[in-house]
Chains A and B, each alone.
Chain A
Amino acid sequence: MKITMKLMATSCLTLTAAMANADGHMANEMTIVSWGGAYSASQQAAYHDPYAEKTGVNIINDESSAEAVAKLRAMNEAGNVTWDVVDVVASDAIRLCDEGLALEIDADTQLADGDDGSKASDDFGDLLVSDCFIPQIVYSTTVGYRSDMVGDNAPTEICALFDTETYPGKRSLEKRPINNMEWALLCDGVAKDDVYDVLETEEGQAQAFAKLDTIKDDTIWWSAGADTPQLLADGEVVMGSTYNGRLFALIEEQKQPVAMLWDAQVFDLDGWIIPTGLSPEREARALDYVMFATDTQRLADQAKYISYGPARKSSAPLVGKHAELGIEMAPHMPTDPENAKNTFLYNYEWWADYRDDLDAKFQAWLSQ
């Protein structure tokens, strides 16, 4: 009984908070959640500002995308969803969709058709990886290195990460299994097409960890996208993995002695989801927003500010020059044919299924 009392009191509290919030949540205001930094800035310029101008909606930016799944789950439990549109990576979108925390979208009726007349479902094509996911950009995780610290022997392939003899010095890798496990297997002689089959087995996981063990002491583990660029700029690491847009900024905007590899780059998607449990008005406005923000022109516009490829096929021809630097953006896109020669196809479905297992093992491995 005590527990019931406690729960009742807590729900009373959330209810009061919800009511206070409902009052505070002005009719003409929406909260959009994203990753911050240069990425949010590109969205602000390409989507938020034009949308606010068109509709007069006041857009509030929240930079909690890294914890979106946890926060959405908590909001859902409390029955008070304060976010209207959330920017997440594809695997998180699949997870949220599976748990019923994200709204299912019908691409052809709820998203804008392409400028070239194609239906949205064709225009986005394979990138519609989940019923709840509204793709926005294609980015890739790849490796950058200090061009002044590798001598005349610049690395050309991803396995340089594991080659501490030729490239002594620290590396920085992301503090999660995704990408690291795949690269470890690739560099341990597993064929590209077999990586996920091998990783599915206990032995395969042990093999990947054994490969990672060889550089464990030379690795600084990062959790924020800005870490590797900073470590590279400081000369703390000789090479490290990060998102291609961050490396673009480091190389082209900040002119650091850094170069990047386009080998076994891991394509990933980023896009919007709309949380479930919004009031009908808020839901309608969120849908209106994503329809506007993911049309052909808007997606091409975003590529002016950051080197991530637009998720629509019809946007690609419209990608122009960088808004400030004036350089052509197309050759810097992960989707550019020259860069995409040797890509690694990231398997969302597989990670949606195995994320929990491998996260636990990876974190235990890290702590030992």
Chain B
Amino acid sequence: MAEQMMAADGRPLKASLNRALRRQKIRALALIAPLLLFILISFVMPIADMLFRSVENEIVENTLPRTVVALQDWDATSGEAPDEPVFNALYTDMALAVEYKSHTRLGSRLNYETTGISSLFRKSGRRISRFDTDAYTDAFTAADPAYADPVQWAAWMDDDALRAKLPLTTSAYDGWEKMIVEAEGDVPTEEQPWDFVYTALYNDGVNGAELPIAVDVSQIEPVSIRAQFSDVDDDWLDPDVWQTIKTYSPTYTNGYFLNSVDLMKGAEGVEQRPENERIYIVLFIRTMIMSLSIMGMCVLLGYPIAWLLANLSARTANLLMILVLLPFWTSLLVRTSAWKVLLQQQGVINDVLVWIGIVADDNRLELINNQTGTIIAMTHILLPFMILPLYSVMKTIPPSYLRAAKSLGATNWTAFWRVYFPQSVPGIGAGCILVFILAIGYYITPELVGGTKGVFISNRIAYHISSSLNWGLAAALGTILLAIVMALYWAYDKIVGIDNVKLGG
């Protein structure tokens, strides 16, 4: 057996080497740890959290927990609104939601799917405290004063046997107790339960449960909660409203994603949205086409400039470089606003064209508030992102190659096309990726100069984040946009190869 090699400290050399390597790895990890943590915490997690909203849909279940359960037995294809028990559950849920002020948010959420629900919830929220259910409260307290005693109620609701007998009452009382403490800051043993708890008690009684103090519920005049709701608004009897509530009751939904591609959930599965609401696919396609055009314009304009910069003497090149960098350092808003002044119908460019006589004064060109405006302004803004990588790659191509080609008999064009151009492709690749990915996500410039026809999908995302507050839809649109960029990047890697991209020498 060969003798083991020993290190100076007497350990086996192999173990010692492994230890040193491990220590080195840990040190390397420790060095990048701050950055890794920073990226994870400030970048990856918030984005993941935001994207998660595209499928998250807890609001229905959280706001209307009892209704969601009661609705499970309802047949959506019956063409009829649900019966009394569902409305009873809705009454309890809504009465609580109004106190938490969460019913308007739920209304807004469901309104994304069926217009009109938002106003329905707001209206009902304002009216719910004036329902005729105080008749139940009066009837029970008249039958036995103990029913008006908060302490007595608390005692009943501590009794597990009683709780099991009165499922509706227990659920309503628990909700009420939680609300009284959380939203009102009161003590449950000092407050008489609200009307909806008595309504639940009545319903338990009608269902044949044994009440804590016997009351003949058949003597109490019933109040139809269904009629109460339909008095507020007929829409409560519209099965479409209930269909929407039922369809969107699960915790997770694909509704936002369907909406992002102009589809929706109908009674019989997924269907197309009405024609006047289909806008997103058009916008996605427009965003792609316009970003590609901007990228193409940048290559066309940027390539000769980069070539010139790379082939001039250092002094002149530096001077010209400043002309590229100066606009690059100028604020985005300033440059966009400048284009507004230049391009508008009474603007500098039109004035010059009229003065030269190319266009008639009463027929000035429409260069802004449309796609032309977006393409011109964004090409200008993104041009440096094309020129800089092109320049740094061209700088490394030895001029002697071109001279060699020519001395071997190539024409100028052949020399350029066969010798120079292939070597500049990595720069074009880098520039194209940069410009395209930046363009696809732009929203300030299109917003300012794009009018209604020259806006991108990102303008809709911004709109849903800050104006319509439909964050779920914004997240779904963002996810799709991200997926498209990834897919294109992957395709680029397959076709051109990402190794062929160079940002510098």
B-contact bits for A335-368, CB 8 A (1 contact / 0 none): 0000000000000000011111101110111111
Interface-facing stretch out of A4-12, A113-121, A266-274: A4-12
Name the residue on B nearest A355 (C-beta). Answer: B118
Are the C-beta atoms of B118 and A13 separated by less than 8 Å? no
Name the residue on B nearest A71 (C-beta). Answer: B466
Residue numbers in A under 8 Å from B115 (CB-CB): 356-357, 360-361
A235 to B100, CA, bound (A): 51
Residue numbers in A under 8 Å from B278 (CB-CB): 364
- Interface residue B277 (Cβ < 8 Å from any Cβ of A): yes
A-contact bits for B442-473, CB 8 A (1 contact / 0 none): 00000100011001000000010111110000
A359 to B463, CA, bound (A): 11
Are the C-beta atoms of A13 and B108 separated by less than 8 Å? no
A327 to B279, CA, bound (A): 50
Contact among B49, B111, B119 for A6, CB-based, below 8 A: B49
- Interface residue A220 (Cβ < 8 Å from any Cβ of B): yes
A98 to B97, CA, bound (A): 11
A199 to chain B, nearest CB (A): 12
- Interface residue B122 (Cβ < 8 Å from any Cβ of A): yes
Residue numbers in B under 8 Å from A352 (CB-CB): 122
Are the C-beta atoms of A357 and B465 separated by less than 8 Å? no
Residue numbers in B under 8 Å from A170 (CB-CB): 345
Are the C-beta atoms of B468 and A360 separated by less than 8 Å? yes
- Interface residue A234 (Cβ < 8 Å from any Cβ of B): yes
Residues 90-142 (chain B) with a chain A CB within 8 angstroms? 100-102, 104-105, 107-108, 111-112, 115-116, 118-119, 122-123, 125
Whether A10 touches B346, Cβ cut-off 8 Å, given contacts A99-B101, A353-B119, A359-B468, is no
A352 to B282, CA, bound (A): 30
Residues 155-181 (chain B) with a chain A CB within 8 angstroms? none
A234 to B45, CA, bound (A): 46
- Interface residue A29 (Cβ < 8 Å from any Cβ of B): no
Residue numbers in A under 8 Å from B52 (CB-CB): 3, 6
Residue numbers in B under 8 Å from A99 (CB-CB): 101, 104-105
Residue numbers in B under 8 Å from A6 (CB-CB): 45, 48-49, 52
B458 to chain A, nearest CB (A): 14
Are the C-beta atoms of B123 and A353 separated by less than 8 Å? yes
- Interface residue B88 (Cβ < 8 Å from any Cβ of A): no
- Interface residue A196 (Cβ < 8 Å from any Cβ of B): no
Contact among B100, B122, B344, B451 for A234, CB-based, below 8 A: B344
- Interface residue A236 (Cβ < 8 Å from any Cβ of B): yes
Whether A357 touches B116, Cβ cut-off 8 Å, given contacts A70-B465, A99-B104, A368-B279, is yes
Residue numbers in B under 8 Å from A361 (CB-CB): 115, 276-277
- Interface residue A221 (Cβ < 8 Å from any Cβ of B): yes
Are the C-beta atoms of A73 and B49 separated by less than 8 Å? no
- Interface residue B211 (Cβ < 8 Å from any Cβ of A): no
Are the C-beta atoms of A236 and B345 separated by less than 8 Å? yes
- Interface residue B331 (Cβ < 8 Å from any Cβ of A): no
Residue numbers in B under 8 Å from A73 (CB-CB): 469
Residue numbers in B under 8 Å from A365 (CB-CB): 276
- Interface residue A204 (Cβ < 8 Å from any Cβ of B): no
A196 to B278, CA, bound (A): 27
Residue numbers in A under 8 Å from B112 (CB-CB): 356, 360
Are the C-beta atoms of B101 and A353 separated by less than 8 Å? no
Number of A-B pairs, beta carbon distance below 8 Å: 95
Whether A356 touches B452, Cβ cut-off 8 Å, given contacts A361-B115, A367-B283, is no
Residue numbers in A under 8 Å from B466 (CB-CB): 67, 70-71
A99 to B98, CA, bound (A): 9
Whether A235 touches B122, Cβ cut-off 8 Å, given contacts A13-B41, A13-B42, A359-B468, is no
Residue numbers in A under 8 Å from B467 (CB-CB): 67, 70, 359
A98 to B123, CA, bound (A): 11
Contact among B101, B283, B346 for A100, CB-based, below 8 A: B101
Contact among B108, B116, B279, B468 for A367, CB-based, below 8 A: B279
A-contact bits for B203-229, CB 8 A (1 contact / 0 none): 000000000000000000000000000
Whether A98 touches B346, Cβ cut-off 8 Å, given contacts A67-B466, A359-B468, is no
Whether A364 touches B346, Cβ cut-off 8 Å, given contacts A6-B49, A220-B451, is no
A95 to B108, CA, bound (A): 11
A356 to B447, CA, bound (A): 21
- Interface residue A69 (Cβ < 8 Å from any Cβ of B): yes
Are the C-beta atoms of B277 and A356 separated by less than 8 Å? no
- Interface residue B46 (Cβ < 8 Å from any Cβ of A): yes
Are the C-beta atoms of B344 and A69 separated by less than 8 Å? no
Residues 1-38 (chain A) with a chain B CB within 8 angstroms? 3, 6-7, 9-10, 13
Residue numbers in A under 8 Å from B291 (CB-CB): none
Are the C-beta atoms of A235 and B49 separated by less than 8 Å? no
Residue numbers in A under 8 Å from B101 (CB-CB): 98-100
Residue numbers in A under 8 Å from B105 (CB-CB): 99
B459 to chain A, nearest CB (A): 10
- Interface residue B249 (Cβ < 8 Å from any Cβ of A): no
Contact among A10, A95, A100, A356 for B45, CB-based, below 8 A: A10
B193 to chain A, nearest CB (A): 22
A115 to chain B, nearest CB (A): 35
- Interface residue B369 (Cβ < 8 Å from any Cβ of A): yes
Name the residue on A nearest B276 (C-beta). Answer: A364
Residues 55-100 (chain A) with a chain B CB within 8 angstroms? 67, 69-71, 73, 95, 98-100
Residue numbers in A under 8 Å from B104 (CB-CB): 95, 98-99
Residue numbers in A under 8 Å from B41 (CB-CB): 9, 13
A357 to B447, CA, bound (A): 23
Residue from the set B122, B341, B447 with the largest chain A CB neighbour count within 10 Å? B122
Residue numbers in A under 8 Å from B107 (CB-CB): 356
A27 to B465, CA, bound (A): 32
Are the C-beta atoms of B369 and A220 separated by less than 8 Å? yes
Residue numbers in B under 8 Å from A220 (CB-CB): 369, 451
Residue from the set A95, A99, A365 with the largest chain B CB neighbour count within 10 Å? A99
Residue from the set A99, A356, A364 with the largest chain B CB neighbour count within 10 Å? A356
B371 to chain A, nearest CB (A): 13
Contact among B118, B125, B465 for A356, CB-based, below 8 A: B118
Residues 39-53 (chain B) with a chain A CB within 8 angstroms? 41-42, 45-46, 48-49, 52
Are the C-beta atoms of A70 and B469 separated by less than 8 Å? yes
A228 to B344, CA, bound (A): 14
Are the C-beta atoms of A9 and B344 separated by less than 8 Å? no
Residues 244-288 (chain B) with a chain A CB within 8 angstroms? 276-279, 282-283
Residue numbers in B under 8 Å from A354 (CB-CB): 118-119
Residue numbers in B under 8 Å from A100 (CB-CB): 100-102
A140 to chain B, nearest CB (A): 22
A291 to B380, CA, bound (A): 51
A234 to B107, CA, bound (A): 43
Whether A235 touches B468, Cβ cut-off 8 Å, given contacts A3-B52, A367-B452, is no
19 contacts between A and B (CB under 8 A): A10-B46, A67-B466, A73-B469, A95-B104, A220-B369, A220-B451, A221-B452, A236-B345, A352-B122, A353-B122, A356-B111, A356-B112, A356-B115, A356-B468, A360-B115, A360-B277, A364-B276, A364-B277, A365-B276
* Chain B interface residues (CB < 8 Å from chain A): 41-42, 45-46, 48-49, 52, 100-102, 104-105, 107-108, 111-112, 115-116, 118-119, 122-123, 125, 276-279, 282-283, 341, 344-347, 369, 447, 451-452, 455, 463, 465-469
4 nearest A-B pairs in the assembled complex, by CB-CB distance = A100-B101, A353-B119, A357-B115, A98-B104
